[in-house]
């Protein structure tokens, strides 16, 4: 199959439209891309010198939804089906996968990192882990009228905080605190609310806080106008008001900024839990002994295991996680302008790039 895609030939330099020919191998499929989201991780690869596992030149993009147009041996049942491609696809066979650690599978595939990704007309991926999408034309199954490109953001921006919340054991009666309420954090607020937790959103952007308040946050705090100590006191006062003990306060760092990571760590109380979801290449200075003194837990979260995707899609299609006000479609041909705009902080929605046909 002839594939056109935008390739990074040199980090920070404009991406170039290129053509290649690929075929689906055994247990693989070619997915015609309906939409691919622009993620903070893509910006890290492009602007911040974060190395990709396959050296450049490379097509980025790992938030992919589309339709299977070619299937290799053993994957024929997927032909013609609409799917979401997980951002992290474990092999399912190694020791890590067999023992429940698929997120650290040494043979995992990360489109746009391990091989050419979704900023093109099609992408080649393993069939294992694909999430089937039901008929979106059915009003009963899709009351919000979501399109296949809308669902691309499930592949990372929605699924990653979902897994983080599962790992945190988030439940009704907990207080979930999201440091960073745009992008991944904005969807995390909704996921946590859908799981029955009370939710706090902290951000420096008024628009992100207002949207979080409309979609699951019971309280919002502006980090641009409040010092870290004041934010810590405000969160603890709210927990006391809601009768939530410190060990049921779960903090999610979703800003991917040094200041956000320092704040999230400072919000930990006795027996508290910190999930590190955001990424920054910058170093952050912390007093790690706080974990000992508070008997607290900090855990990272890498992607989301494919087996969780159907439940996430159900939440989205049921309207319990809202996408429309968080997503904006742009033509794939505008990729260089979009990257520059997102990097400059001029976009408050998740951009999904849609190939022209």
Percent of the chain predicted with pLDDT > 90: 97
| Structure token digits, residue 348 | 């408050």
Q: Would you say residue 11 has pLDDT above 90? A: yes
Relative orientation angle of helices 309-317 and 159-167, to the nearest 10 degrees: 110
- The domain limits of the chain are 2-155+304-354, 159-300
The CATH class, in words, for 2-155+304-354 is: alpha beta
Contact 160, 71 (CB under 8 A): no
pLDDT in tens, 57-86: 999 999 999 999 999 999 999 999 999 999
What is the model's pLDDT at position 156? 97
How far is it, in rounded angstroms, from Cα 336 to Cα 319? 32
| Angle in degrees, CA 289, 294, 296, rounded to 5 | 90
Q: Would you say residue 357 has pLDDT above 90? A: no
CB-side neighbour CA atoms (13 Å) of 115:
12
Residue 260 per-residue DSSP state: H
The CATH class, in words, for 159-300 is: alpha beta
How far is it, in rounded angstroms, from Cα 34 to Cα 154? 13
pLDDT in tens, 241-292: 999 999 999 999 999 999 999 999 999 999 999 999 999 989 999 999 999 9
Mean of pLDDT values over 231-235: 98
> What average pLDDT does the chain have?
97
Q: Would you say residue 179 has pLDDT above 90? A: yes
How far is it, in rounded angstroms, from Cα 159 to Cα 165? 10
How far is it, in rounded angstroms, from Cα 317 to Cα 329? 19
Please spell the DSSP secondary structure of 73-96, one letter per residue.
TT-GGGTT-EEEE-SSB--SSSHH
Q: How many CB atoms lie within 10 A of CB 339?
A: 24
Q: Would you say residue 31 has pLDDT above 90? A: yes
**Which residues, 6 or more positions from 289, have their beta carbon under 8 angstroms from its beta carbon?**
none
């Amino acid at each position: 199959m002839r594939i056109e895609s935008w390739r990074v030939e040199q980090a920070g330099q404009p991406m170039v439209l290129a053509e290649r020919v690929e075929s689906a191998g055994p247990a693989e499929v070619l997915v015609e891309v309906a939409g691919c989201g622009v993620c903070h991780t893509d910006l890290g690869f492009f602007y911040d010198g974060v190395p990709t596992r396959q050296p450049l030149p490379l097509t980025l993009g790992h938030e992919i939804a589309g339709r299977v147009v070619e299937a290799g041996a053993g994957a024929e049942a997927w032909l013609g089906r609409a799917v979401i491609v997980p951002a992290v696809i474990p092999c399912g066979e190694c020791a890590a996968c067999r023992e429940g650690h698929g997120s650290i599978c040494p043979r995992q595939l990360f489109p746009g990192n391990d091989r050419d990704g979704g900023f093109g007309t099609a992408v080649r991926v393993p069939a294992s882990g694909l999430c089937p999408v039901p008929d979106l034309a059915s009003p009963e199954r899709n009351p919000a009228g979501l399109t296949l490109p809308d669902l691309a953001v499930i592949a990372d921006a929605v699924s990653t905080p979902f897994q983080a919340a599962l790992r945190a054991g988030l439940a009704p009666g907990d207080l979930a605190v999201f440091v960073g309420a745009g992008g991944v954090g904005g969807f995390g607020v909704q996921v946590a609310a859908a799981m029955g937790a009370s939710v706090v959103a902290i951000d420096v952007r008024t628009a992100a806080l207002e949207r979080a308040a409309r979609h699951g946050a019971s309280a919002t705090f502006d980090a641009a106008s409040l010092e870290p100590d004041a934010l810590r006191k405000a969160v603890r006062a709210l927990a006391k008001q809601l009768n939530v003990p410190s060990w049921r306060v779960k903090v999610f760092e979703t800003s991917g900024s040094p200041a956000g990571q320092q704040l999230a760590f400072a919000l930990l109380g006795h027996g508290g839990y910190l999930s590190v979801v955001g990424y920054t290449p910058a170093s952050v200075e912390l007093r790690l002994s706080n974990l000992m003194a508070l008997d607290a837990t900090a855990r990272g979260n890498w992607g989301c295991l494919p087996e969780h995707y159907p439940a996430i899609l159900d939440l989205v299609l049921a309207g319990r996680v809202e996408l429309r006000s968080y997503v904006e479609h742009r033509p794939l041909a505008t990729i260089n302008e979009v990257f520059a705009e997102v990097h400059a902080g001029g976009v408050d929605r998740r951009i999904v790039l849609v190939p022209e046909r």
